[in-house]
Amino acid sequence: MKNVQAFQKQLAARKIQANYRRIDNLKEVKQAIVAERNRIHKLAGIRYSHCKDLSDEIRLTPAPCDYSPSTFPRDMAASTVEFKRALHTMTTSYLLASKCKTDIMIDADINALEQSSVEAVIE
């Protein structure tokens, strides 16, 4: 009987740890998205002031997700690094596509994402 209870406690502890890891990963993803939003606003501000061409700025401005294999933290999962690289590529493409537009649509996208995450927590 004690073995069964000990096993159930270990199983519950593993589930709790997995949930905490999942929450930490979601927080990392959200931080990466917010960092990309901030980067977009910085680049858009530069675009609005007509300092340089946007494509040059994208190449010159270091992105928060632009990791080379020698610089990214060793404790970071490879999937997280790949996600951040993909996010950086996606937002760079987004900026180039919206070069002639005046509004930054990612604010609405992030607000929708935050709203859906709040609704998911409530459920």
pLDDT tens per residue, range 24-49: 888 888 888 888 888 877 777 665 55
Q: Which of 9-18, 29-38, 73-82, 90-99 has the highest mean pLDDT?
A: 9-18
Rounded Cα distance between 36 and 73, Å, is 19
pLDDT score recorded for residue 108: 62
Q: How many CB atoms lie under 10 A from the CB of residue 65?
A: 22
In this prediction, residue 104 carries a pLDDT of 56
The residue ranking higher by pLDDT, 60 or 94, is 94
Mean pLDDT along residues 78-102: 68
Each domain of the chain, given as residue ranges in start order, spans: 2-122
The pair of structure tokens assigned to 97 is 């596509």
Q: Is the dihedral of CA 114, 119, 122, 123 positive or negative?
A: negative
Quick check: 95 and 43 in contact, CB under 8 A?
yes
Q: Could you tell me if 94 and 40 are in contact, meaning their C-beta atoms sit under 8 angstroms apart?
A: yes
